Amino acid sequence: MTGKAVPVGINHVALEVGDIREALDFYGGFLELEIARQSEKAAFVYFGDQFINFSLGRRQGPDDNRHFGIAVDDKELAIRRLEEMGVAFLEGPFTDFLDPWGNRVELTTYTKIQYTKADHVLRGMGLGHLEKAPEALEELAAKGMAPGE
């Protein structure tokens, strides 16, 4: 025992926005949203067993490097929807953009990254068909975390 708590994962991200309804409309423009609760000051949107908390009150300028990533089942579809919405992607090696309040978001493909949801959570989300790409499985295996280990 190290005498320290071991981080298990990220339960949620809280994003400050200028308008809750506009945030739900913006993110709902490219993502299927499961809105658990909402008021004029906050909304809780679930991604299976995790959530984003939209909170009223963004006052700082746009984020440069600070960001969060959303893993999706179909990145190309999300990109097309964002382009249809007129969202500009930022320069760089990743699929980053700013939401209307300056929160920097990175889109990634669930199957190509190490991050893994439990099988029962994926099934509950209707995503039980998703399988990790060989590169992601290799990264997990290197840490002793590959499925079946």
pLDDT category at 114 given cuts 50, 70, 90 is very high
pLDDT category at 148 given cuts 50, 70, 90 is confident
Percent of the chain with pLDDT over 90: 90
What integer is the mean pLDDT of 90-100?
97
d(CA 29, CA 46): 15
HSE of 115, CA atoms in CB hemisphere, 13 A:
13
Which residues are registered as beta bridge partners of 43? 38, 54
Task: Write down the residue that tokens 């760089």 correspond to.
Answer: 92
d(CA 144, CA 138): 10
CATH number of this structure's domain 12-57+65-142: 3.10.180.10
d(CA 126, CA 107): 20
β 104-109/68-72 pair status: parallel
Q: Give the model's pLDDT for residue 1.
A: 58
Query: Where do the domains of the chain lie?
Result: 12-57+65-142
